[in-house]
Structure 1
Amino acid sequence: MENENFDLDYEIEKAMEKAESIDKYKKIIRIALGKWLKNLQSGQIKLDKVSDLKILIEADLMLKDIEN
């Protein structure tokens, strides 16, 4: 019984650490995306090719997958 409680506590701790890491990643991504969008709007970054759009879409899908 005591071993089961230890295992449960360990699993809860690991799940909380993972959730905290994901929250940190999301914050970093939001900041980076904000800077990227400013650069896109100012013309420093250009979407010239279909591959540029493809990369952007794939990144968006990846971020949505992380959120779930």
Structure 2
Amino acid sequence: MSSIPLPLAERLDAIVEQLEISYDEAIAEAISVWVDREEERRLFALRALASTNSMLVEGNRVKDWADSL
């Protein structure tokens, strides 16, 4: 595990002091927010892929219909 870069550590120090919370609380919340955001990104990507796949199916249906004429 790598260490936190000094500028980020200084920002964390200021927030922890201002909010009067522990480093563990601040880091746990930050990780939780990051994980939630990554899960949302993954879900968005999966939905976009599903949408693209459905458009391909629809496109194939149109082609099949046109070929049947």
Instruction: State the TM bucket, normalised to the shorter chain.
Output: 0.5 to 0.7
**Structure 2: runs of 5 or more not aligned:** 1-25
- Matched-pair identity in %: 9
Higher relative contact order (CA 8 A, sep 6+): 1
Other-structure match for 1:50: none
Number of residue-to-residue matches in the alignment: 44
Alignment of 1:1-68 (within 5 A): 1-43=26-68
Give the 4+ runs in structure 1 shifted more than 4 A: none
CA RMSD of aligned residues (A): 1.5
1:19-63, Cα deviation, whole Å (9 max, x unpaired) = 00011111111111000112123338xxxxxxxxxxxxxxxxxxx
Q: Distance in 2 between matches of 1:13 and 1:42?
A: 43
For residue 14 of structure 1, what is the amino acid of its counterpart? E
- TM-score scaled to structure 1, two decimals? 0.58
- TM-score scaled to structure 2, two decimals? 0.57
Q: Distance in 1 between matches of 2:67 and 2:38?
A: 44
Q: Distance in 2 between matches of 1:35 and 1:2?
A: 49
**Structure 1: runs of 5 or more not aligned:** 45-68
User: Over alpha carbons, which structure has the higher Rg?
Assistant: 2
